Structure 1
Amino acid sequence: MTQMILPSDANPVNAAFGGRVMEWIDICAAVAAQRHCRQTVVTASMDDLHFHAPIKIGWIVTLHGRVIAAFRTSMEVGVTVTAENPLTGERHMATSALLTFVAINKDGGKMPVPPLRLETDAERSAATEAESRRSERIARKSESHNWQRVFPASALIK
């Protein structure tokens, strides 16, 4: 997926607005997940989002998404965002993220996803790391709402 950073994509310091880049990451990852399972997918989480370097107006960004691991009904997808100065050809890693997607049916119920074919040692290693991250996310899930207690009750709609 390729985009050019336009003024409407920029923040007050003339760099890509992080929220816009996050939107593109979500779309890129969704395409990768949907291509893997050939079903409708929804974003469950975005983890390890890192903005490594700013992306200037007029620069070109290329997003690459790939399913790292497939579980029963979910998948971990990695996305990298490379920024390129079109005048010099200089490129650098601008952003990276890991996302979790869940496959769903037309009624919103979870659907099984096919296993991922792991062909290289790098793919197997990445999938093993993804399994560890998944276990950590699941273990943390019951704790992850405690931070919301610092907000007034009126800010928390249940």
Structure 2
Amino acid sequence: MKEAYIKETHAVKVGHVFPPDTNNHGTLFGGKLMSYIDDIASISAMRHSRSPVVTASTDSVDFLAPVRTGESVCLESFVTWTGTSSMEVFIKVLAENLLTGERKIAATAFLTFVAVNEEGKPIPVPKIIPETEEEKYLHETAKERVEARKKRRNASKELATVIHKGKPWG
């Protein structure tokens, strides 16, 4: 299986924030932003795997600044790390005041996707090659996030067993 460069997985989504997209504070609904994040991240994962993908986890969505009515929201995503069939995708969300040109990072997120075949079974993905400083940093620090993800998943399985009255979680 051939390797691929991170730049080949880059995806961008831009939208205008209108009143129906916002809450009573005049800022973009968090759930709407999370939907945008999952959508753009899945495009990066599919570009890399060239197969259907499923969302395996959302490690974090860190909301750093509000996105207000009238601003644009720009999401950039790319694959940062690959396992056998899994891909970690980083998403950076930028808000821009279209009248002043001021931009700010509004959120960051890490999601994991698994490449699957037509039967929904995991399939191998190519290794990823970082080139820029940002890509190299995210690639090198991915192992820590992978370990934290595994611990969190095991804790979730244990919790599911407890709250499901001792029955297996699956």
Unaligned runs of at least 5 residues, structure 2:
1-12
Range with bigger deviation, 46-55 or 18-27: 46-55
Q: State TM-score, norm by structure 1.
A: 0.89
1:61 corresponds in structure 2 to 73
Query: How many Å separate the matches in 1 of 2:90 and 2:157?
Result: 25
2:102 counterpart residue number: 90
Q: Quote the residue 2:16 is aligned against.
A: 4
Q: What SS does the aligned partner of 1:142 have?
A: helix
Deviation at 1:13, TM superposition (A): 1.1
Q: Which residue of 2 aligns with 1:37?
A: 49
Of 112-121 and 52-61, deviating more is 112-121
By how many angstroms is 1:139 displaced? 2.7
Aligned to 1:21: 33
Which has the larger displacement, 50-59 or 140-149?
140-149
For 1:4 and 1:122, the matched residues in 2 are separated by 27
CA distance in 2, matches of 1:109, 1:119: 31
Number of the residue aligned with 2:59 = 47
Query: TM-score of the superposition, structure 2-length normalised?
Result: 0.83
- Cα shift at 1:42: 1.0
Provide the secondary structure at the position in 2 that maps to 1:57.
Answer: coil
What is the CA-CA distance between 1:148 and the residue it aligns to? 5.8
Q: Using CA pairs below 8 Å that are at least 6 residues apart, which structure has the higher relative contact order? A: 2
Amino acid at match of 1:7: P
Number of residue pairs the alignment of both structures matches: 155
**Alpha-carbon separation, structure 1, partners of 2:84 and 2:51:** 14
Q: Report what 1:103 is aligned to.
A: 115
CA RMSD for the aligned pairs? Answer: 2.1
> Which consecutive aligned stretches of 4+ in structure 1 deviate over 6 angstroms post-superposition?
149-153
Q: Which amino acid aligns with 1:123?
A: E
Provide the identity percentage. 39
Q: Which residue of 1 aligns with 2:9?
A: none
**Unmatched 5+ stretches in structure 1:** none
Q: Distance in 1 between matches of 2:163 and 2:37?
A: 29
